[in-house]
Chain A
Amino acid sequence: MAENMTEPGIGHAHKISIRINGIEHRTSDHKQTVAQVLALGGFTVEDYTLVSKDEPSVPLPPEEILHLKDGDEFLALRKTNPVSEIGGMQDLERFFVEELGRRVEYLKGANGDNLIIHDVEIPAGPLAGKVCDIGIQCTDSRPFALFPAFHTRPQLVSMGQENATHPGKIAPEWQYWSRQWQKPPLSPGEVWAWVLTALTKAKI
């Protein structure tokens, strides 16, 4: 299949059918580079490696010219394949709704979008029994990394260094709680523990 041809992209009269990840593609270019074949399937050389289905242990270099035949089958393999318990804001949302049974909404503030968890009762510490809404600023970072702060509404303590709190960045009625992440959270449960720990340790 792979040959050292020098003139990729030379058109031929009849179309042939090849498969990439099981999807059929028809082309009349019988000589194409690996990059062109990937592009035919909607894949980029930056993110994907092309291999022949019959010889999947051999990655095909992007610049290699393939002499395509009818019925050729290829696999486009993603170069990195992440899994994680928390990969985005929707994982946090699902946790709060499905696991904790909370009411949530997204709120656009001065700082962008925020995930709001309503009516949270602080379980322990000096603020025990107080009820507030909690705001977590949305992020699309990959790998997932939260901003080092959350918000409460209403403001629960006086602003200042004692609790590392500041005026809200969502809106004036919110309070900003600055809390560093020593390591990225690995689960929604860790995020929730991070919020509750900060609130139970508040000083009044």
Chain B
Amino acid sequence: MIQGTTPEELGVALSGDAYKQILMLGNRHRQEQVRLFYWRPSEGKLRYSAIIDPAIPIPLTEELIESGNVAFTDGYLMRILSGVPKGAGIGMVHNHFSPNWQGLSRDDDTTESQHLAPVATAATGLPLLGITLGSDGFLSARLWIMDKGTIKRREVDTVRVIGERFMVFPYPNKAPKMGGNRDRRIATTTVWGEAKQALLESYRVGIVGLGSVGSMIAESLARMGVRDFVLIDRDRIESRNLDRTIGSTHMDAKLKRRKTSIAARGIRRAATGSKPTIRQIARWVQEDAALEALLDCDFVFSCVDRHLPRYVLDHLAFSHLIPVINGGIAIEVPTVSKPSLDVSWQAHLVTPGRACMGCLEAYRYSLLGLERAGMVDDPKYIAGASEVAAAYKSSENVFCFSMSCAAHETMQFLAYSLDAPSICQTEPKMYMGETGNVFRAPARPCGDCGPDCLVKAYEAKALSLNQLLK
């Protein structure tokens, strides 16, 4: 609970749908607008984020007093208070007629700090979230946090919009800046300019799975200047991993070093920017420490080969609005009945407005329960379940297959995180070795998540990820 505590970082995240609704406040000529809404907390180890519910209640005509400026009535507030979803807080957004980051006027401050914050806090136990829309679409946000009986204003560090496009609105003194050693990234920076390079260097990126694909992504990001990493993998390196895990050595395998340690070492060696910050979590992704660390990330790469972690990361993307870039390689070696070698891989971005991993069949729902129960690691069970065994048999891989998949995941990340669609269209990509074609991967049931999609149903609901696994 945030009341009375001081998290290191404060964030706000909203979907593209929610942002479109907020942008509409600025559509009326010379008339300010105001809306009350709900939000839910997403609590990482370092960052406390408010996730805005995209169902923003529209005020009735009689609930607003418009005179160029605007006021809302107690009737609107009563309606909002009576519909607060469990675990949600209350927020207020209004627009200004000036661009960029917005301070609070006397009216804004009085209404938020004195009239609304005490009520919102008493009613929900959560702080009031105040947001101001600038005339250029910039969002400035603050939380009114109860501390020792007094409500104090704390500016939100960044507001992130996760939709068709990614946008980030920083508090003025948190604006992204390029790190040191710029001469080492001249070629990279020249491609997209210093502003986008600074943005890239401001992101905290999680990589789940530091095997063949994950280790390459880690090195790639470090060379491009990313300097804040969360590395999650419980495994240790073995001799059989050495043919495709970048940076690994015979000694690592002999000493059974953790994959996170090897990746961290690789990042430090490859880093071209300032000294990187690396958090190593040698845990399963579904363990508390890993889940908590994931909620601190701006982007997460899913480089896992199991179904349950992908399911968790799917909800992370939709429910907590943390974009996930997923990739996977499928290889079918020749057999007597099927003599051809089939190679394919997928890479796709997972955010609201795009297909979820489940609808792209990146995981099989039927196997989640077995993984949760540990059945797939039980040789006796696997021996008697040939269909399940088939789903887990594939350990074949080749270094260059992983390179190709890692490259496409990284390009999807760059295109989205830097809002640079000319790098790569952020649609689900599938490569078929047989034809040599990269095409849009098919999704179920109609190209994107359908109305019955269980992952989409929890969009921006900040679902407890632990609860998923109980």
Contacts and interface: CB of A to CB of B under 8 A. Distances in A.
Interface residues of A, number: 42
B121 A22 contact: yes
Nearest to B108: A83
Contacts of B119: 21, 75-77
A56 B79 CA distance: 8
B370 interface: no
A33 interface: no
Interface in A22-48: 22-23, 48
Interface string B27-56: 000101010000000000000000000000
A78 B115 contact: yes
Interface in A76-134: 76-88, 90-91, 94, 98-99
B79 A57 contact: yes
Interface of B: 30, 32, 34, 65, 67-74, 77-79, 81-82, 92, 94, 96-98, 102-103, 105-108, 110-111, 115-116, 118-119, 121-123, 146
Given A56-B123, A81-B77, A81-B111, 12 more contacts: A21-B119, A49-B78, A73-B122, A75-B119, A79-B73, A84-B105, A85-B108, A87-B69, A90-B106, A94-B103, A184-B67, A186-B32
7 contacts: A21-B118, A75-B122, A79-B74, A82-B111, A83-B105, A91-B105, A186-B97
B81 A87 contact: no
A188 B96 CA distance: 10
B107 A83 contact: yes
Interface of A: 19, 21-23, 48-49, 51, 53, 55-59, 73, 75-88, 90-91, 94, 98-99, 143-144, 183-184, 186-190
A92 B251 CA distance: 67
A53 B67 contact: no
A53 B81 CA distance: 9
A80 B79 contact: no
Contacts of A187: 96-98
Contacts of B81: 51, 56-57, 75, 77
A186 B122 contact: no
A51 B78 contact: yes
A88 B122 contact: no
Contacts of B68: 143, 183-184, 186
Contacts of B71: 80-83
B107 A87 contact: yes
A59 B74 contact: yes
Nearest to B135: A187
Contacts of A143: 67-69
Which of A48, A49, A75, A144 is most buried by chain B, counting CB atoms within 10 A of its CB? A75
